[in-house]
Structure formats: structure tokens, C-alpha cells
């Protein structure tokens, strides 16, 4: 797997889009990186930029961006709601694929050393890149902010890791490190009170608040036997939070960093803030995500809110995201566009999923054209997807059937299984065509020398093997999907039993069609043992599919 890291620098400018554009132009000038998101905030006077790429390209782009920010942003004139200490306030690197946190931390150190030496900015390492645990926390490092750092940097314990022990009047200092994926998330309140917002933030954040006698704000601080302040932890683990007032929106917010979304998810944080706000007579009106969010976070949120309504979670990815957006109020302050905010959507290559992006007429026209692809393999995968879609429909209809309320979870689980098979088969619609194109590409390789001939022959065999494995995968998925279809014929809404029957017919046709592709492609393989094994397994699958279809149709006809 190619190494891929994400970089999310925060620049202390959120109003002048010309300055922001000059910085992002530097990032985009580097080959091997992709700019994913630019999220400026006027009240915070801060812009969060997200880009990904191979490690060396990413740190090259980050260096150029930090350098340009130091030239364009004057921190002596900067005002904003968010804590900050430099023109580039913080620049984290996040491992995404094919690279460990330890390796990512080494790239962070490499970037920090270059920034300190070539730009002359004081740099502090944080999180996984910082060996000294007393100074690896961003909020601790940034304490005192830009204004207080002129004195802080002179303290022996706050000597920078790289660069001069001088806090630049114009550029300030910066923090560079390596960390896990973090979700920056703000919850909107129906109040303008920063103090009340902070009280809720202290209620939920892991660090909590200092314990006081009587009044939580003015009461005497309670200490232990050693004289250390006693702390009351907050209710959410892996959460950092503060309250602030956003003049741009005219509201106060709880600003949170969810540092481990496997521990505290977006929806869990939202609900907990709602609960704590209600206890204080305050209402949550919505929320906003800053930067990007993983797809799983949105899907999990959609399922969570559907489950709270006792509704089926076996709906499409698009519907789950819509439920999440509406339930979290992510579109209260500005439109939430999934294609621009979900990291997987920004990274995916749509050119490899051309067919399933077509409408029905265009897909039929493309199939009927003189082009050999899409062919029978892609059509088999699509027919299979339609078959399990019918089974999933029956599951969803059953979960909402009047009088069957106590069974909604049973049918929701079946619908989720159906959605899985549908999604996997849709991927294979394009993958079968991509596999065919790999064969054509292999046949087009040069063959002037013996070495080229050998490489070409091997490429053809590799591509042909893959083109055999793809339709075999279609066979497996379609047969497995018939479990859902059979269950819906047996126990699903009886008014939709014929839909389950049609689903079974589609699944069987898909298996039969895909097997034809397996057999014709296996015929071109020199690895005869592999070919014979696959055909034998395919024959067994075909027989089991015919038996399953007969069983389902018997149930269906018995209920008509």
C-alpha cells in the first residue's frame, strides 16, 4: 500500500481570502499532494486547511505553506476568538494509509527542523513527535498565547525544539507534530453567554473543572492533603472543550476536539452537550464540523438517531448521512455538502466508478454501444445488486409495518445485511469493466525484446486471473445475498413476498451470468490448477444457487 499522510495546518487568518489563497497555492504547487478542504472562520480569524499525499510531498507542501504564512500574516495585528501563538499556529501530520504513527512522527520532526532552520521560526513538537510528556499537549504548549510567549520562550523549560529561542513579533511561534485523526466539532447554543458555554464545556470535557466550595466559579478551590487542586472530571473521554462567543453568528458555542472518535463519537458528544445544556436551561440549536470528518462518523451518527426512533438502519449511505446532518443540525449555520466534507469522498477516484454514476438510460445506452465493456460480468453484478435491493426493500417495509413495532430491530438487521451486499455488488459493476480494461492494457504492452515479451505475457496472465476472480466474487456475493431474500420471503411483509421472489430470480441470473465470465476467462489461464479449482467451486455455487432459488420460489408461490 502506498504511504499516505494527512496534514491539517491551522493558519491565523480567516477573513482575507487573498492571503488564504496564496497559502493554498503553495500547497497545490507540489506534485503528489491533493488539497481537500479549506475552512475559514471569521470570528476565530483562523483557517483550517486539509491536504493529503505521500509523506515527502506533504512535508514539502507544508513547509512552503508555513513559509508563505510567515510572509503574509502579521501576528502583532491579529485578533480572534481561538487560542493561537503563531501565523501557522499548529501543523499536525496524521497517518492515513501504509505508514505508522512512529514513521509519521519522524516526518514531523524533519519538517520542524527545516522550518526552524530555513524560516527562522521557533518550533515546538507535540503529541507523538514530542518525547517529553510534560510538553506534548498542544493547549499546554500554547498557554499564554502569542502575547505571552515573548516571556515564556525565555524560560529554560520552554526552549523550542527547533529554531531560535526568540518569539517572532510578526510570525510568532508554531507547533508541529503527529497525532491520530481528530474531529474539530462545535455545538451551537441559544445563548450569547461565554461563561455559560464554558460551564457546559467543563461539564463534558475529559479534564473537567477544578473543584470549588459552593459556587463553581467564585467558590474557594478545594485542595488535597498535598495542597494540589482537586479536579472534577468531565463526562466525556478523549474530549477537549471550551466555550466561546461567535460574533459572526451571534451565538455562543461549545468548541470541542474529539481526539479519539472510537471513544467519544460525534453523536455521543452532541447528545451529551444537549443533556448538560438542558440541565442549565440552555438549548442546543445545531452544530458544525470544522474541516473534514470520516465517513464512518456520519454513518454511525445516522444509525444512532434512527435507532433512537426504532427505525431501520438498513438504508442507503446517502440516507444515513442525511439523517446525521439533520439530527446534528450540521446545516444550521451553512450548507453541509458531504462531497466536500467527508474525507473518503474527497479521496475516492470517481473515474474508477464511472458506470454506477450513470443514470439508467445512460447505463443502458453504454451497454448497447459498440464498446465491449460493460459486458456480461458488469451486467451480472448489477442484476445481483437489484436482486438484493428488492430483498432489502422488503426488510425495510417490514420494519415499519403497523403492528410489527416490536420486530423493527430484526428487520433492521436484515436490511443492514442487504445494504452490505448491494454496496459490494455495485462496486463490482465497475470493477468487472476495469478488470477487462486491464487485459486490454496488458495486450498493448511492447513486445520487441524477449524481456518485454516476458513482461507482457506475465501482465496478461495477471490481468486475466483478476478478470476471473472478479466475476467469481459476484457469484459468491449473490449466493450469500439470497439468505436475506429467503428470510424476507419467509417472515417479511406478506404484501411484498413477490418482490422477494423477483429478488431471488435476479440473484440466480447474476450467479449464472457471472459464472459464464469465470469460465471463459479461466480458459485463458496458464495456471490450470487455479483455473480448475475456481471452475469446480463455481459449479458448486451454481448448484447451491439453483437449490436456493427453488426454495425461495416455493415459499413465494405458497403465499400468493
Which residues are identified as catalytic? Answer: 82, 432
- Burial category of 403 from C-beta neighbours within 10 Å (exposed 0-12, middle 13-18, buried 19 and up): exposed
Q: Buried b / exposed e across 4-32, counting CB within 10 Å, b at 16+?
A: bbbbbbbbbbbeeeebbeebbebbeebee
Helix (H, G, I), strand (E, B) or coil at 285: strand
Query: Angle formed by the axes of helices 497-522 and 450-491, to 10°?
Result: 160
- Residue 128 DSSP symbol: T
Q: E strand or H helix at 187, and its extent?
A: strand 183-189
The phi, psi pair for 285, rounded to 5°, reads -110, -10
Q: Which of 50, 37, 35, 44 is nearest to 15 (CA)?
A: 44
Contact (Cβ atoms closer than 8 angstroms) between residue 289 and residue 334: no
Which positions ≥6 away from 291 have C-beta within 8 Å?
Answer: 8, 37, 39, 48, 50, 184
Contact (Cβ atoms closer than 8 angstroms) between residue 303 and residue 313: yes
- DSSP per residue over 336-349, as a string? --HHHHBHHHHHS-
The phi, psi pair for 3, rounded to 5°, reads -75, 135
Contact (Cβ atoms closer than 8 angstroms) between residue 86 and residue 95: no
- DSSP per residue over 44-87, as a string? TTEEEEEEEE-HHHHHHHHHHHHHHHHHH--GGG---SS---BS
Instruction: Measure CA 84 to chain center.
Output: 27
Residues in the chain: 560
Which positions ≥6 away from 148 have C-beta within 8 Å?
Answer: none
Contact (Cβ atoms closer than 8 angstroms) between residue 329 and residue 287: yes
CA distance from start to end of the chain: 52
Which positions ≥6 away from 321 have C-beta within 8 Å?
Answer: 298, 299, 302, 338, 342
CA–CA gap between residue 132 and residue 312 (Å, rounded): 49
Contact (Cβ atoms closer than 8 angstroms) between residue 277 and residue 283: yes
Handedness of CA 5, 11, 14, 17 (dihedral sign): negative
The phi, psi pair for 534, rounded to 5°, reads -65, -40
Neighbours of 98 (CB within 10 A): 13
- Residue 136 DSSP symbol: -
Cα–Cα separations (whole angstroms), residue 67 to 14, 121, 156, 185, 466: 17, 9, 27, 28, 47
Amino acid at each position: 500500500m502506498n504511504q499516505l499522510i494527512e496534514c491539517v495546518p491551522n493558519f491565523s487568518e480567516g477573513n482575507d481570502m487573498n492571503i488564504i489563497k496564496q497559502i493554498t497555492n503553495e500547497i497545490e504547487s507540489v506534485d503528489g499532494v491533493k488539497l481537500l478542504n479549506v475552512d475559514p472562520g471569521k470570528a476565530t480569524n483562523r483557517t483550517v486547511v486539509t491536504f493529503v499525499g505521500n509523506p515527502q510531498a506533504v512535508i514539502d507542501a507544508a513547509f512552503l505553506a508555513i513559509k508563505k504564512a510567515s510572509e503574509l500574516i502579521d501576528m502583532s495585528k491579529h485578533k480572534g476568538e481561538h487560542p493561537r501563538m503563531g501565523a501557522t499556529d499548529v501543523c499536525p501530520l496524521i497517518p492515513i494509509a501504509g505508514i505508522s504513527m512512529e514513521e509519521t512522527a519522524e516526518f514531523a520532526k524533519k519538517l520542524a527542523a527545516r522550518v526552524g532552520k530555513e524560516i527562522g521560526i521557533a518550533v515546538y513538537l507535540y503529541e507523538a513527535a514530542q518525547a517529553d510528556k510534560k510538553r506534548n499537549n498542544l493547549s499546554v504548549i500554547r498557554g499564554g498565547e502569542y502575547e505571552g510567549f515573548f516571556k515564556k520562550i525565555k524560560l529554560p523549560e520552554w526552549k523550542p525544539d527547533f529554531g531560535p529561542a526568540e518569539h517572532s513579533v510578526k510570525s510568532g511561534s508554531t507547533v508541529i507534530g503527529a497525532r491520530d485523526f481528530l474531529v474539530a466539532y462545535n455545538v451551537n447554543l441559544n445563548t450569547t453567554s461565554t461563561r455559560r458555554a464554558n460551564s457546559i464545556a467543563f461539564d463534558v470535557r475529559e479534564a473537567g473543572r477544578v473543584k470549588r466550595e459552593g459556587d463553581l466559579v467564585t467558590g474557594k478551590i478545594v485542595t488535597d492533603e498535598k495542597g494540589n487542586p482537586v479536579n472534577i472530571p468531565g463526562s466525556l473521554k478523549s474530549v477537549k472543550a471550551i466555550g466561546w462567543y461567535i460574533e459572526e453568528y451571534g451565538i455562543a458555542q461549545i468548541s470541542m476536539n474529539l481526539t479519539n472518535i472510537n471513544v467519544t463519537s460525534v453523536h455521543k458528544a452532541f447528545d451529551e452537550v444537549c443533556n448538560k445544556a438542558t440541565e442549565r436551561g440552555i438549548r442546543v440549536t445545531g452544530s458544525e464540523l470544522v474541516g473534514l470528518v470520516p465517513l464512518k462518523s456520519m454513518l454511525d451518527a445516522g444509525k444512532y438517531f434512527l435507532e433512537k426512533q426504532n427505525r431501520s438502519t438498513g438504508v442507503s449511505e446517502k440516507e444515513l448521512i442525511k439523517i446525521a446532518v439533520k439530527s446534528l443540525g450540521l446545516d444550521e449555520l451553512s450548507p453541509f455538502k458531504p462531497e466536500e466534507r467527508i474525507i473518503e469522498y474527497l479521496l475516492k477516484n470517481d473515474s474508477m466508478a464511472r458506470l454506477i454514476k450513470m443514470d439508467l438510460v445512460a447505463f443502458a445506452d453504454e451497454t448497447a454501444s459498440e464498446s465491449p465493456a460493460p459486458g456480461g460480468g458488469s451486467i451480472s453484478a448489477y442484476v445481483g445488486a437489484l436482486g438484493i435491493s428488492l430483498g432489502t426493500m422488503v426488510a425495510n417495509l417490514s420494519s415499519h409495518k403497523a403492528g410489527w413495532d416490536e420486530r423493527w430491530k430484526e428487520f433492521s438487521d436484515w436490511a443492514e445485511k442487504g445494504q452490505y451486499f448491494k454496496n459490494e455488488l455495485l462496486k463490482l459493476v465497475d470493477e468487472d469493466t476495469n478488470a477487462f480494461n486491464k487485459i486490454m492494457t496488458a495486450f498493448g504492452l511492447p513486445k520487441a525484446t524477449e524481456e518485454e515479451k516476458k513482461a507482457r505475457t506475465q501482465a496478461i496472465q495477471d490481468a486475466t486471473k483478476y478478470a476471473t476472480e472478479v466475476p467469481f466474487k459476484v457469484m459468491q456475493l449473490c449466493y450469500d445475498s439470497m439468505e436475506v431474500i429467503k428470510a424476507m420471503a419467509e417472515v417479511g411483509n406478506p404484501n411484498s413476498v413477490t418482490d422477494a421472489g423477483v429478488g431471488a430470480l435476479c440473484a440466480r441470473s447474476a450467479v449464472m451470468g457471472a459464472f459464464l465470465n469465470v469460465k471463459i476467462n479461466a480458459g485463458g489461464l496458464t495456471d490450470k490448477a487455479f483455473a480448475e479449482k475456481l471452475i469446480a467451486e463455481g459449479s458448486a455455487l451454481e448448484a447451491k444457487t439453483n437449490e436456493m432459488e427453488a426454495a425461495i420460489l416455493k415459499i413465494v408461490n405458497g403465499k400468493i
